[in-house]
Amino acid sequence: MGGTMNLRERKKLATWRAIRSTALRLFDEQGYEATTVEQIAAAANVSRATFFNYFASKEAVVFDQDPEERGNWQALMNDRPTDEPLWESLTAIMTGFSESLRDRMPLQRRLKAQSPALAQSAQSFGEQFFTDLRNWVASRTNRSDELTATLQLNLALAATNTAYQTWPVDEPFDGYLQRLERCLRQAGAGTATD
């Protein structure tokens, strides 16, 4: 995607990333509730109107995906060998997707723990990923295997959710990855097909 962007698109992406990076830094330093859109705009050297051209809200800065992330996880899915067992593919995809969030997920998690408003947000940084993953699984599944494939997908999602829910806020990101691998391994033990 980056290679096909024109100069204007690259500048827009750079501005989007600068605003988000600035906002996340301020949230980390001051807290989500204490940081205003005006402070973010000033620190990012943009106007308040420019902030809202890129983000619908302060909350969106925390949850919106980088415009290039979708292409990255779609490549992760498409790079799985077609003859690979579905569970092995799902394990590699879930681990790779989580690894791609290494720089952002711990801060998002801390911010949600510190901010009641953010914790109540219905927005999720993984919504589009999960939709794409479901579509990818459907594209690789025969109608006769639909039940098994759906079960494996739901187990992979439950394993990922369990790893996230049991990840202590003060534990490093590698601890989350270890929990994820353990959950996927345990869930995978029950996915063997006859």
pLDDT over threshold 60, residue 122:
no
DSSP 158-169: HHHHHHHHTS-T
Average pLDDT over residues 7-24: 94
H/E run at residue 108: helix 105-114
Note the residue count of the chain. 194
pLDDT over threshold 60, residue 72:
yes
Phi, psi at 5, each rounded to 5°: -75, 140
- Tell me what percent of the residues of the chain surpass a pLDDT of 70: 94
Q: Round to whole Å and give the CA distance between 177 and 153.
A: 19
pLDDT over threshold 80, residue 124:
no
* 150-160 pLDDT tens trace: 999 999 999 99
Q: Round to whole Å and give the CA distance between 19 and 57.
A: 12
Domains, the chain: 2-61 (1.10.10.60), 69-188 (1.10.357)
pTM of the predicted protein model: 0.81
